[in-house]
Structure 1
Amino acid sequence: METTSEQNKKKLFISIIDNDAIIQTMLVRILNMMNIDQFELDIKAYEDGLQFFESQRLDNTGEHFLILDGIMPVMDGIEILQKVKSDLGKHVYVLMLSGRKSPAEIDKALKLGADDYVTKPFSIKELQIRVQQIIQRITQ
């Protein structure tokens, strides 16, 4: 039986947008193992930005947190970030998880509104800490 506090949890929609199925699976596993008391997690993975936008996931009521791959066919992470932050006018939390390591790429993503940027390959522990920090910002 659910307690009252569990019933009153807000939904956090976490969308992983990465064309690498192994990374998707690993991220879903990592997120499911994290102890996030404040939210009921709804985690979904998408192969590219087009598939993500066609799902109309951002129409769901609740907080949204995206983990974006920087390099993908069809629509890359920067294009998704631009669309989410400027075109849609919604407040969405974004963690870039990319193989692009140049300071110019990182600066561009952060200036466009990414909340954090992690380069691949990445440490699972560091990624967990950075995800936890973003989720703490959502609760404030």
Structure 2
Amino acid sequence: MPKILIIDDEINLRETIAEMLTYLGYEIYLSTDGLDGLEKVKSVQPHLIICDIMMPVLDGYGFMEHHQSSDYKHIPVLFLSAKVEPRDKEKGIALGVKDYITKPFTFKDLKATIDLFLT
């Protein structure tokens, strides 16, 4: 069963995504900020990470800077963010994210993007 780590400080969104992905058979782990997310990556070793950008403590960009220099940099990261400026996407891609999904999004689109990296 593929493991997915969701790092997002918006509890309703995080829980909704988790519930939908659990229903589809994924094993889901949750984190509220980038710093906690880095710890969860070590303990869980997920197959995929979905990460918001704007979060307290350590934002998504900071998470990626640490993630790319870790032993777990092979784990793909998808950014899921309300930041829609082209420079935000460019920065994420430059930091190593595999894809950038903007909020609002459809669950169908999220699932299709997840499938690209877990198949």
Structure 2 residue aligned with 1:6: none
RMSD across aligned C-alpha pairs, in angstroms? Answer: 1.8
Closer/same/farther in 2, CA of residues 63 and 72 from structure 1, 3 Å limit? closer
Identity of aligned residues (%): 30
TM-score by length of 2: 0.88
Structure 1 residue aligned with 2:18: 28
Q: How does 1:9-24 map to 2 (within 5 A)?
A: 12-24=2-14
Choose the corresponding residue for 2:81, options 84, 94, 98: 98
**Larger-Rg structure:** 1
Query: CA separation in 2, counterparts of 1:92 and 1:108?
Result: 18
Query: CA separation in 1, counterparts of 2:65 and 2:38?
Result: 13
Query: CA separation in 1, counterparts of 2:36 and 2:64?
Result: 14
Which aligned segments of 4 or more residues in structure 1 are displaced greater than 4 angstroms? none
* CA deviation after TM superposition for structure 1 residue 63, in Å: 5.0
TM-score by length of 1: 0.75
* CA deviation after TM superposition for structure 1 residue 81, in Å: 1.3
CA contact (8 A) 1:30 1:128 kept: no
**What 5-or-longer segments of structure 2 have no aligned partner?**
none
Provide Cα deviations, 1:36-59, integer angstroms capped at 9, x if missing partner.
xxxxx431111111222344x424
Whichever structure has more strand as a proportion of its residues is 1
CA contact (8 A) 2:8 2:52 kept: yes
Q: Say whether residues 1:130 and 2:106 are aligned partners.
A: no
